[in-house]
Structure 1
């Protein structure tokens, strides 16, 4: 199973300066709870924006076009085909955490989409590529709790390809 996991604002914004444009602890917890124990794929810029270290309790794969790229405690892949082949042979989910170019290239291959929708507008420069929502069925939706640490209205959605 190959799945995308991301958070976006009302306009589809997903990044600013290789980081998230907001701080939303509920989303970080959702991301962790969803991906722990599984394989996590991300691009080099996303990885470096997270401090160039793999997240605990996940097999981390960095997808980069740079054949000389090296990083500790991660696996390096250089093509979308490698990621798709891995997802087909694994019995556990492979989650893709971005960035936008990787989402765009893998969109036709995703079986599931895990989206945190944040009902706000932020500034940044990286947007989720367009998704043809007619190809997807919403199978789960939970409202996030707004509180003193989570200032923005948000919801967690899971879609399955039709």
Structure 2
């Protein structure tokens, strides 16, 4: 990938460093950012071919980063990478301009394949495993959090939960 420029937006410095080195060995020019503000600044200063954006960036939302990056650089192929996947965030990421949505752990090969995937895969089986009640609950909570821009107090109000109850649920399965 001679000449390909990659922006990695990841708040875990060890993972960002490892991912960056792996892509540098493949010929990418890598820039890293650990917050939405740093990603915005990098996007305004450089022209990126690709971007890997973590969904949860400390207090920032990776979805906002995707939206801001696509506004500044509409041709950048963005892959959202997350350890806390949900249907709601996958749909929103694609709507905001992400090319692909990958669940951690994903390696460099997976990410590079996602960069190069031009179309969806119609061979993916429609019938999958049944979703558990816990998963449905988590997806509903996460969808509500997305609608509230990750404001826990507002999400708790909309869900009819006490804020501390929602906070405990989020601690058990971090965003």
Query: How does the TM-score come out when normalised to structure 1?
Result: 0.37
Structure with a larger share of its residues in strand: 1
Higher relative CO (Cα under 8 Å, sequence separation at least 6) belongs to: 1
Structure with a larger share of its residues in helix: 2
Query: How does the TM-score come out when normalised to structure 2?
Result: 0.34
